[in-house]
Chains A and B, each alone.
Chain A
Amino acid sequence: MRVGLFIPCYIDQFYPRVGAAAVRVLRRFGGPDLHLEYPEGQVCCGQPMANAGLPHESQPLAETNLKALSGFDAVVCPSGSCTSMVRNHYAPFLEGHPGYEELQAKTYEFCEFLTDVLKVGSPAGRFPHKIGLHNGCHGLRELRLGSGSERNVAPFDKVRSLLTNLEGLTFAEPERPDECCGFGGTFAVQEEAVSVMMGKDKVADYRQAGTEALVSPDMSCLMHLEGVLRRGGDQTTRVLHVAEVLEEATREP
C-alpha cells in the first residue's frame, strides 16, 4: 500500500516532531507492505481562508493539493480538522476535477487510518501517565471519530480505543469531555477574549481531573491549550499528539 502523508502547514513549521512520530508509528503498525511517501508539492489545506469568509482564496490550494496527493492508495493526515477540510469542504473547489472523489474517499485522519484501515485495535505498549484526552471538535463531529455527548448513539471513541491497552496509562475524566477548547482557527484571533476564556476553562477542567499529559489528535487545539498553560505559568504538563504517545509507548527498547 502506497500511503501519502499530508502534513498540516503548522505541524510542518512548528511541530515537526508530530510528523516524525506519525511516520514512525505508521511504519511500525503498517508492516512491510506499507510504503510511506511525503509529497513535497503539498500545501496548507486552505481552511484559514475558507473559515475567514474568503473561500475563493482557498481554491488554488485545494487544486495544488489534489495534484500533490493524487495516486496514493491512502492519504493520511495527523489532524482531524485538516482531514475534514479535504473530505467535507473541498467539493465547491474540486467537484468535477479528475481524482477529486478518489482523494475525498482515501483521505484519512491518522487515528482513523490506524483503527479503520490498518485495524490495529488497541496496541500493547507502555505509557505510565494519567492523560487528559481532548478529541478535537472536527475529528469528533465532522469525521465522527467518537460518538459525542450530544447524540444518543452507542458510545465509541476511535482515538481512545488506540490508547486503552497501554500499560500504566489512565484517563483523566474531565467534567465536559467534548467541549470545544476555543481554538477554532481564525476564531482564536477574531474572538480572542472568548477563545482564551474557553482555553483556560478547558485547561482547568483537565487539571482538576488530574491530567499529567494533555493528548489530542489535533495539534492546533494543543497549540492553543499549550499557549494557555505556559502563559499561566505551567511549564511542566506534557502536551502531546496521539502519534507521539503511540510512538513513545510502542518504541522498542
Chain B
Amino acid sequence: MTKTAEHPDRARAFVADDARAHWHDESLWFVRQKRDRQVHSVPEWERLRELASQVKRHAISRWPDYLEEFEKNATALGAKVHWAADAEEHNRIVLGILRDAGVKKITKSKSMLTEEVHLNPYLIKHGIDVTDTDLGERIVQLREETPSHIVLPAIHLKREDVSETFHDKIGTESGNADPAYLTEAARQHLREKFLGAEASITGVNFLVAETGGFVVCTNEGNADLGTSLPRLHIACTGIEKLVPRAADLAIYLRLLARSATGQPITTYTSHFHGPRPGGELHIVLVDNGRSDLANDPQFRDVLNCIRCGACMNTCPVYRRSGGHSYAATVPGPIGSVLNPLHALTPRIVRESEQGEGVEPREGEAGDAHGSLPFACSLCGSCTDVCPVKIPLHHQLLALRKTVGDRGLLPWGKRIGMKAAGKLLNSPKLFGVAGRLARKALPVLPRAAIYNRLNPWGVGRDLPPAPPKSFKQMWRDELKQEASSPGDPK
C-alpha cells in the first residue's frame, strides 16, 4: 500500500543520465546566482522578507474579513466573484462561464492553480480548445507533459528537445535549434491562437482586498495579449494570494522577480481593476484545502508562498533529480510540503472532528506523495532563500513525523529504526555492537560489505575502522591527560 520508494526511483533514473543531470543542475544554479546578485543589491532584503511574512500571516489570520472586502470591492468594479471549495467546483464554474458565453477556444496564461486543479484536461474533455500561452507552458503542453518547475516550466528541456517538438507539432525546420528561430516560430504560432481566442484565462499573483483589483506578473506579456482581444476574462486564483492593501504590493513585487529569476522586477506587472469596457471579468476564488492549512499552526506558514520557485533553484536535490521526479504539480521543497499536506490534511481534519479511524475518501490515500518529505537532505537552504520566510526544512521534518505517524513508512524502516533506537539508547549494547563492527570490518571480504544490501556502499567507501572507540581512549589515556598535573584542579 505504501509507495514511499517513488522519489528515489525517479531521481535515480534522472541521475543516471549524468550529463543531463549536471546540465540541469548548472542551469538552475545560474538562476540562483543571478538571484544572489539581485538580493545583495537590496540592503533591506532581510527586513522585506520579515515584512512579507508578517503581512501574509496577518492576512491569513483574518481571511474571512479580507476576502469579503475583496469581493465587495471587486464586485463594485464590475467583476463577478465566484467561490470554489475544491478543484471540481472550480472546474465546473469555469466551464459554466465558458458555456454561458458560447466559447469554444481559449488562451490561458501561466497559472499553477489551474495546474493544481487539472483544468486543462477537464476543459479539453468538455470540448474546449485550450492553448497555454507562456512559452515554457506551451512547449510542455505540445509535448503532453506537465511543467517541471513552477516558474521555468520547461527547464528540463534542452533547446534540441524544443526544436524536435516544434518540428513535430508546429512544423519548424528539422534540426534547427537556433533560439531566435524557435522563439519567432512560437511567437507566430501563438499569435494565431491569440487572434482566434474567444476568452482568456489568467492566473493571479496578488489579490488586493482594499481595491478589489489583482496583479498578474509575466515576462512575456502573454497575459496582456490574451486579455486584450476577447471580451471575456476569467482569473483563477487560490485564496492565499490575498494581501490587505495596495501598498503591500511594494513589498512583494520587489521580492518576487528577484527571488524567481534574478530580475529586479517582472517585465510585465499588470493591474486589473474590473472588466474592460463592454467586457466581462470573472474571478474564481479557490479554497481546495487552504482553509484547513490555515487552521494548522504547524504548517500555516506554507500559505505565505508567492510561487517564486527560489526554493527549487537552490535545492541541491531538485537541481539533480529534476522536477518530474516529484510527480506532483508543485515540485521541489515547497511542493514536498504542499503535496503530502494536500493529500493528508482533509483526513487529519476529519479525524480531529470525528475521532481516529476515519475511512479515507477516494483520492485521499495520503501515500502517493509519502516519499517527498524525505527527498531532502535538510540542508535548510530553501528556508533561507524563501522571500516569505516559510520554514520549509522544518516543515519537511515535521511532515516526516506525520507520514510516520500514519503508518506510511516502509516496514523495514520502522523495524530498523525501532531496533536502532534500542541499541543506541544503551551505552553498553552500543559499545559491544561497535566493537564487533570495528573488528569485523577490516577482515570481512569486500563482497560481504559492499553489496546491494548496503546502499551506502554503492558509491562510497566506509570509513576505516579504528582499533579503539573514543570511550576506550578516554578510559585508557584521555582521562588522565585531561586531569594531568599542570591542570590545577
Contact = CB atoms under 8 A, between A and B. Distances in A.
Interface of A: 7, 9, 11-17, 19-20, 23-24, 27, 32, 35-38, 40-44, 46, 48-55, 57-58, 60-61, 64, 89, 137-138, 140-142, 148-153, 176, 178-180, 182-201, 223-224, 226-228, 230-231
A176 B420 CA distance: 35
B411 interface: no
Contact of A32 (B413, B471, B488): B488
Contacts of B482: 23, 27, 36-37
Interface in B82-116: none
B337 interface: no
A193 B8 contact: yes
Interface stretch (B194-202, B214-222, B461-469): B461-469
B425 A19 contact: no
18 contacts: A23-B481, A35-B483, A38-B470, A53-B374, A53-B400, A54-B413, A61-B421, A137-B381, A150-B314, A152-B46, A180-B379, A184-B377, A187-B376, A192-B459, A194-B317, A197-B320, A198-B377, A228-B459
A152 B40 contact: yes
Given A23-B478, A137-B381, A192-B12, 8 more contacts: A16-B469, A17-B466, A23-B481, A53-B403, A53-B409, A151-B46, A227-B463, A228-B459
Contacts of B378: 51, 137-138, 184-185, 187
B316 interface: yes
Q: Which of A23, A89, A140 lies at the interface centre, i.e. has the most chain B CB atoms within 10 A of its CB?
A: A23
Given A27-B481, A38-B479, A197-B320, A53 B401 contact: yes
Chain B: interface secondary structure?
helix
Contacts of A185: 378
Contacts of A201: 22, 25, 320
A51 B400 contact: yes
Contact of A13 (B420, B438, B483, B489): B438
Interface in B312-340: 314, 316-317, 320-321
Interface residues of B, number: 80
Given A141-B383, A150-B384, A52 B417 contact: yes
Nearest to A5: B474
Given A48-B420, A137-B381, A226-B463, A13 B469 contact: yes
Given A15-B466, A53-B374, A137-B378, A227 B456 contact: yes
A184 B379 contact: yes
Interface string B417-439: 11011001111001000100110
Nearest to B475: A40
B268 interface: no
